[in-house]
Structure 1
Amino acid sequence: MKLITEKSTKGFQGVRKYDKNDHQDCWSLPVVTLTTIVVTLPNIEKVEVKSLLKSVREGLKYVTLVEKNLNAIDESIQKVAEKLWEDVDLRRKWLGIGLKDIASQVNKTTSQVDTALQVVKLFSEKAKNKINKAVGSQDDDPRFTSICANSMFGVTETIIGEKESNKRLFDELSSRIADIMAACLTNLPQVIAKKCHTSVIEKREASVEAAAILLGETKQIINTLQGPLQDNYLSMTTNDLSSINKWRAHLSEP
């Protein structure tokens, strides 16, 4: 709630900004990729980084719930995002590269804008190197590496190309993360309704109970997203709401 209310933009414009060339219909992967960059940025107060990580950690729980219950994405892509998030959140690593190692390569004598862009460019270079390797080491999962590296390369190239966003990159990227999660979580009522209407009698009681618990946990989020913000997506169909690509198309309309 803190991240959504403080950082999301009118119309959730960050949904269409994260990567202009990404065609994977996945909510969680761009959230994880953007968070990886944000927590590596230099000269950011630790309390801000911890707060963002906590928000993303809590938010991804519901984002993945939407993806799993509405079949919004390829399940294998979601598993990639989950594995990547585990590495970033618990091990502070991206594809085996320590986030501290990337941060240590930054020339901190330059301006804050330049140091932030250095981090973005370092991630871009490392992603490109991963993509260019035809086959990883024996311990690597080539598909996992390819999906994560392509996501990172697309996100970083988009950021580099948007000069107006570089003055306060931490806030800008936090806003994009908030917008993507907020847009995804507009689907929570659908998830709750689906749990309540399961046709398997043996599972119905447990499913309805799970729906009641989920409603209790997310009522404040749902009310916020169905308040004044609802005007931003009223013209979208129920099926369209569960697709990040449909959201991007909707937001890109003149």
Structure 2
Amino acid sequence: MRVEMEEYKGYVLQIEDDAKLTTRVVRNVLNSITRLLQESEKKSPRNLMKLLEDSKGFIGVVEFDDERVLPLIPGEFQNSWSLVVVTLTAIVIALPSISNDCVKDLLFSISEGIYFVRHVEENLNPCEDLVKSRKASRRVGAEVDVYRTWLQIDLRKKARKGKRSKEILQWLGDEAAEHVKQYKNSNASLNHSFHKFIAAICMYRTSQTLLLHYNAQPSWPTDMDVFERVRSLIADIFLACFTNLSRVIKMKCHHDEIEKRQDSVRTAAQILGKSKAILNILQARQLPDIDMDSMAYIDKWRALSKNEILSEIDIERDGNRVDRITYPVIPHF
């Protein structure tokens, strides 16, 4: 215990830089964090783990948006992790002939996964466009979760009328395109409907990508096959996003403001406790050749080729390249 306390004294919250804490205080602090970690581990996201364990890798992060889908407007649009997941969630709810139990299980998994996604985005995606995308995902996500609607459109409407998944995907794409058209004609780039515009672009591209994929098949798949593909995309996107959790945890353990450091480190301990099983899955995965900063952005992942996602990389590090996920050493406040 004495060796452990000496190791972590440098991380302990100090009132002044030169302040020295007694062995008793350090022991109490370490015990407090240990209890918090243990309590958080008991809250491991069980539904999310079932989803992630079915994932074979990260391929979904390059397959949810096909570059062959023509843009509705010129210029680039930045995706956020959460908005893509919320969009895929809306599609899941809209699909016909899927049992309520299957849908509920997936929605529970997504809810648990979004908790970690939020931490990644809030700490590693500070640019203005992604902040706007994140706000859009919160607004739309709340609507999808509570009312089962997307931009005030009843997601179960077509399913109740006996429509097939192909017709539903086309319908969602058409509705999204109409929202984009209305926004462009309003000439109000900063009005309250901007979040709808962002969400509509994401829905259009995602639904059209699924249509493009299945239209290339010899025959249209069953509704359950479509559900399983969307489920797989969500799992892979979650896993790619979660490769940033170690970095988030470390950042929270080194907060610059002393007044906020204690709460920040406690949050880090909670994230670590809840995500320990997730990190175990990631430790067995090898990553594509992508630098640490780019890992934080879904569009950086999407820019990779499928071969880069599928190919194994050397275990030795090459510059900033990351090969395996490692547990962070958690400093104590």
TM-score (norm 1): 0.88
Q: CA deviation at 1:135?
A: 3.2
1:37 aligns with 2:88: no
Higher helix share: 1
Q: Using the alignment, how far apart are the partners of 2:234 and 2:281 within structure 1?
A: 17
% identity of equivalent residues: 36
CA contact (8 A) 1:72 1:243 kept: no
Q: CA deviation at 1:252?
A: 4.1
Runs (5+) with no aligned partner, structure 2? 1-48, 68-75, 309-333
Other-structure match for 1:183: 240
1:121 aligns with 2:121: no
Q: CA deviation at 1:248?
A: 1.6
Structure 1 counterpart of 2:200, from 142, 149, 165: 149
Structure 1 counterpart of 2:268, from 203, 211, 214: 211
Q: Using the alignment, how far apart are the partners of 1:72 and 1:26 within structure 2?
A: 11
> Which residue identity lines up with residue 264 of structure 2 in the other structure?
S
Secondary structure of the residue that 1:250 maps to in structure 2?
coil
Q: Using the alignment, how far apart are the partners of 2:249 and 2:83 within structure 1?
A: 23
Other-structure match for 1:172: 229
Give aligned pairs, total: 239
Q: Which of the two has higher C-alpha Rg?
A: 2
Q: Using the alignment, how far apart are the partners of 2:144 and 2:158 within structure 1?
A: 13
Q: Using the alignment, how far apart are the partners of 2:60 and 2:77 within structure 1?
A: 16
- What is the correspondence of 1:44-59 to structure 2 with a 5 Å cutoff? 44-59=98-113
Structure 2 counterpart of 1:19, from 65, 68, 72: 65
CA RMSD, 1 decimal:
2.0
Q: Using the alignment, how far apart are the partners of 1:141 and 1:169 within structure 2?
A: 34
Structure 1 runs of 4+ with >4 Å offset: none
Other-structure match for 1:111: none
Structure 1 counterpart of 2:287, from 232, 250, 254: 232
Q: CA deviation at 1:213?
A: 1.4
Structure 2 counterpart of 1:65, from 119, 134, 151: 119
Q: Deviations over 1:185-208 (max 9, x none)?
A: 111000100000112122222211
Q: Using the alignment, how far apart are the partners of 2:121 and 2:89 within structure 1?
A: 19
> Which residue identity lines up with residue 27 of structure 1 in the other structure?
W
CA contact (8 A) 1:186 1:225 kept: yes
CA contact (8 A) 2:120 2:245 kept: yes
Other-structure match for 1:110: none
Q: CA deviation at 1:23?
A: 4.2
> Which residue identity lines up with residue 58 of structure 1 in the other structure?
E
TM-score (norm 2): 0.68
Q: CA deviation at 1:253?
A: 5.4
More displaced, 127-136 or 33-42? 127-136
Q: Using the alignment, how far apart are the partners of 2:220 and 2:146 within structure 1?
A: 28
Other-structure match for 1:81: 137
> Which residue identity lines up with residue 154 of structure 1 in the other structure?
R
Structure 1 counterpart of 2:153, from 94, 97, 102: 97
Q: CA deviation at 1:166?
A: 4.9
More displaced, 78-87 or 202-211? 202-211
Q: Using the alignment, how far apart are the partners of 1:226 and 1:206 within structure 2?
A: 28
Q: Deviations over 1:137-159 (max 9, x none)?
A: xxx83311211111111111111
